[in-house]
Amino acid sequence: MSDTADIARAGDGELWRRACQGEAECFGVLFDRHAAAVRAFCARRTGSIDAAEDLVSIVFLEAWRRRADVELIDGNALPWLYGIARRTMQHRWRTARRHRRALERLASAPAVPDHADEVAGRLDDERHLARLVAAFERLKPPDRDVLVLCVWQGLTYAEAAVALGVPVGTVRSRLSRARSRLGAALHPESGPVAASTPRQEMP
């Protein structure tokens, strides 16, 4: 039987190897280690905590299904998990779009009040929040992804490149474009506003 303390100290690479060899508790440690970060990423991209909770389980099930393809950055599996989360959300959005188009062919249902608007209405900076959300939603999906991963999730350029499946240079250019467009939308009178810089890779 594996020693619990030994497993908790193990790096992602060792945990993944041991999980693939049949030590199921090692995958449980990986889940405990990274689930919160994956949940935060999904919540920021979907705007829903409930949807994020559902997505976390799907992401880790898909990660286990694709365990032979794991890609680690400096021994860290999180960027690869972000990539799976991003593709999972894209698949769900495509499915939801097909459903919406089908429903549009039917008689429209009465509008249901959105309780999220009620919550937002209690915020002191309601107008700023509305502008931020609107500006973020106007960004193209690739630009939203890189902004969430690099600015909010704190990934380096190299880690984001793995999560997005693109070269590092593409991450840099997308992030620069996303910052510029978001800043211009929020502060049209003063031009783009600088965003925080991602963690830099060690040379």
Query: What is the distance between the alpha carbons of residues 76 and 19, in angstroms, rounded to a whole number?
Result: 15
The CATH number that applies at residue 17 is: 1.10.1740.10
Query: What is the distance between the alpha carbons of residues 11 and 201, in angstroms, rounded to a whole number?
Result: 19
The pTM of this model reads 0.57
Asked if the structure places residue 2 within a domain, the reply is no
Most confident of 2-16, 32-46, 99-113, 134-148: 32-46
Residues 129 and 182 in one domain: yes
Residues 89 and 12 in one domain: yes
Considering only CA atoms, which of 25, 10, 124 is closest in space to residue 76?
Answer: 10
Residues 68 and 133 in one domain: no
Q: Which two tokens stand for residue 76?
A: 């860290």
Residues 14 and 99 in one domain: yes
Determine the structural domain holding residue 70 and report its residue range.
7-104
Asked if the structure places residue 114 within a domain, the reply is no
Asked if the structure places residue 68 within a domain, the reply is yes
What pLDDT is recorded for position 179? 83
pLDDT tens sequence across 109-152: 344 444 444 444 444 455 655 666 777 788 888 888 888 888 88
Residues 6+ apart with CB under 8 A from 7: 15, 18, 23, 25, 26, 29
- With tokens 């062919």, the residue in question is 105
**Confidence band, pLDDT 50/70/90 cuts, at residue 191:** very low
Asked if the structure places residue 111 within a domain, the reply is no
Residues 94 and 17 in one domain: yes
The CATH number that applies at residue 168 is: 1.10.10.10
Asked if the structure places residue 18 within a domain, the reply is yes
Residues 20 and 96 in one domain: yes
Asked if the structure places residue 143 within a domain, the reply is yes
Residues 67 and 132 in one domain: no
Q: What is the number of structural domains in the chain?
A: 2
Residues 91 and 48 in one domain: yes
What pLDDT is recorded for position 54? 85
